[in-house]
Structure 1
Amino acid sequence: MTLTRPLAALSLVAASALVLAGCSSTSGAEANADGDAETTPFTFEYNTAGEDEEPAYEEVTVDVPLAPENVVIFDMASLDTWGALGGEVQGAPLDSVPDYLQGYLADDAINAGSLFEADLLEVEAAQPDLIIVGGRSAALYEDLSEIAPTVDLSSSGSFEDTLERNVTFLGEVLGAEDEAATALETLEAGIAEAREVTAGIGTGLSVMVSGDSVSALKPSEGDYSGRNLRGGIVYDVFGVEPVISDIEEATHGEPVSFEFLLETDPDYLFVTDRNAATGEEGAEAAEVVLDNEIVHETTAWQNDQIVYLDPMAWYIVFGGIDTTQIMIDDILSIGA
């Protein structure tokens, strides 16, 4: 299995990417002609295609104000990082902010809508200096950009590449470059420690429980779009050896049977409970779904090697500073 490069090894690559993307350092920030607050340019790829069309990306550059005081964030990973670096969030989809990130919201934070639909009137009335979208909320970019400078911090490559780009960029915007660098160093060390643990556990299978169905997740294999990025983190970032070489071919990308879990029989099962993450009404917890006679026969069950991952961190947020530490801790729990 090809090992993920450590974050430290990515620093020069990421730095180059930031320069090429126009994400300049604070020293390169510019004040506009009217003498307003300094800004720094940020360039990203925006998908201009419709929902049922093939993706069509257009390069967009936005002049982002430095040290903005009024920020509305729709992307939970960005909200995580913004708060972890000392920023306060004035608006967000409040119903989607997990408990462990609530402390990063201003006391009078507005409810900006949902991850998929913005309350444009509420956002406009708040007069934000900056709006941040990403992932599920990326489709909101066009409408929100008419209200205030808006950036899309969706995945731009591997988990580590995107994490480093976004933490570095948001650190620059906040004037917290040193804090951002320290956070990345800490997460790098944590990921390396977690990979040392997984190197000795044998094989693993990452699964998602949705409703009463179980889906086997696969390594991203260089395709970092959406579900592939999230589903592959156990393997790509934390070094777990997949129990079979081609999970996608074996499953055809469909939910799998409990018999599949027994036939492949990984040493460890890593479980993301989508039911818990989304609060699906009437859905049973993953522990209940997997508590059956067939799963009881697996090596993972018999050796108490089923790892239930934090559902908010692994399914909803994934990619922020605090959340990445939660993910590291989930993997480290194996060796506890």
Structure 2
Amino acid sequence: MTKLKQILAIGTLVAFSQLSTAETRLPTAAVFDLGSLDTMAELGLESQVTGVPKQMIPEYLQQFNSASYSDIGGLKSPDLTALSTVNPDLIIITGRQAGQKDKLATISAVKQVDIFGENYWHDLSDNVNSIATLFHVQDRADKALADLKGYIKSTKKTLNKDTTVLIVTHNSGSLGLREDAISSQLLGLKTANIPTHVKSHTRGTRTFTPLTISDIAETNPTTLFIVDRSEAIGNTNEALDINKLKADLAAQGAGSIKVTYLSPKLWYLSGNGLQSVRMQVKEIAEGL
């Protein structure tokens, strides 16, 4: 049994085996997981979406900002009243909403989507297929996954195998290591070696590896990719000053490092969907 299947409630699948049949209507869904949302869009299931967290919708999903879809709150603060009004058959969430899972389950069936990263393509495929099964569009999912796999393969062939990359998350002036399966697993790029004196810190279930400009200069990747959390969540006054970062690196003797600023909402709020993964692969390849 795959990890994704383990997190799907059996009761949810049983309920939708009756709802989603050729003789009855397809289920409706309120979607907090933006990756699942872009997967549903790619599979032609926009009409089955009833609600989305509009304040955090990335540019590439702006069609869901229309009046046709209800605003169901923030990614970490679901609007239970709005959800009750929408009354979807299914609420799709990720770990960001896990703390509210029991409350959400009193409104509708909940499907939690998590991708753990040990085998990224496997988990991504499982997620896409689980959505396709619920909405009876497996043929579309098979084609979409095959097309995406082909795109990744062709893109990978164009990359310089000697390139080393470092991906960091910026948050209010601080930088931290970001381990990313798009770069390492899907594109096979080498992550630059972090200096041995850099230490990781664990807070609850999460591990953080803070990095200074000096640490990055010492690591000396071919390309430094930035995911700006501050910009992604709307704290624009705390967003990264990219020119200052480049100047600081140059002052440390690391001016040759190419710095690429990735699309903030795509990388911090979204991902793990048919559309978002293709866009992320493209951004990494073009940013090298």
- Report the TM range for the smaller structure's normalisation: 0.7 to 0.9
Pair 1:268 & 2:223 matched: yes
Residue 56 of structure 2 aligns with an amino acid whose one-letter code is: S
Kindly report the root-mean-square deviation, in angstroms, between the aligned alpha carbons of the 2 structures.
Answer: 2.7
Residue 99 of structure 1 aligns with an amino acid whose one-letter code is: E
Counterpart mapping for 1:320-331 below 5 A: 320-331=273-284
SS of 1:170 mapped into structure 2:
helix
Q: Residues 284 and 72 (structure 1 numbering): CA distance in 2 closer, same or farther, change over 3 Å?
A: closer
Quote the residue 2:152 is aligned against: 191
Quote the residue 1:238 is aligned against: 187
Which residue of 22, 26, 39 corresponds with 1:81?
39
Residue 148 of structure 2 aligns with an amino acid whose one-letter code is: L
Which residue of 160, 185, 195 corresponds with 2:121?
160
Q: Residues 132 and 80 (structure 1 numbering): CA distance in 2 closer, same or farther, change over 3 Å?
A: same
Quote the residue 2:171 is aligned against: 210
Counterpart mapping for 1:285-304 below 5 A: 285-295=240-250, 301-302=255-256
Pair 1:315 & 2:268 matched: yes
Pair 1:250 & 2:198 matched: yes
The Cα shift of 1:195 comes to 2.8
Pair 1:122 & 2:82 matched: yes
The Cα shift of 1:99 comes to 2.1
The Cα shift of 1:194 comes to 3.3
Quote the residue 2:29 is aligned against: 71
Which residue of 125, 136, 140 corresponds with 2:100?
140
Q: Return the TM-score normalized by structure 2.
A: 0.82
The Cα shift of 1:111 comes to 1.3
CA distance in 2, matches of 1:333, 1:201: 16
Residues 167-218 of structure 1, C-alpha deviation per residue, up to 9 Å, x if partnerless?
Answer: 1121222222121111111211222233334442422211122111221234
SS of 1:302 mapped into structure 2:
coil
Pair 1:284 & 2:247 matched: no
CA distance in 1, matches of 2:174, 2:143: 40
CA distance in 2, matches of 1:194, 1:201: 15
CA distance in 2, matches of 1:188, 1:286: 35
Q: Residues 249 and 315 (structure 1 numbering): CA distance in 2 closer, same or farther, change over 3 Å?
A: farther
CA distance in 2, matches of 1:328, 1:140: 32
Q: Return the TM-score normalized by structure 1.
A: 0.72
The Cα shift of 1:107 comes to 3.1
Quote the residue 2:214 is aligned against: 259
Pair 1:110 & 2:60 matched: no
The Cα shift of 1:80 comes to 1.1
Q: Residues 263 and 100 (structure 1 numbering): CA distance in 2 closer, same or farther, change over 3 Å?
A: same
CA distance in 2, matches of 1:248, 1:140: 39
Structure 1: runs of 5 or more not aligned: 1-15, 22-42, 47-58, 219-230
The Cα shift of 1:262 comes to 1.4
Pair 1:44 & 2:44 matched: no
Which residue of 81, 94, 97 corresponds with 2:57?
97
CA distance in 2, matches of 1:248, 1:311: 29
The Cα shift of 1:82 comes to 1.1
Higher relative contact order (CA 8 A, sep 6+): 2
Residue 7 of structure 2 aligns with an amino acid whose one-letter code is: E
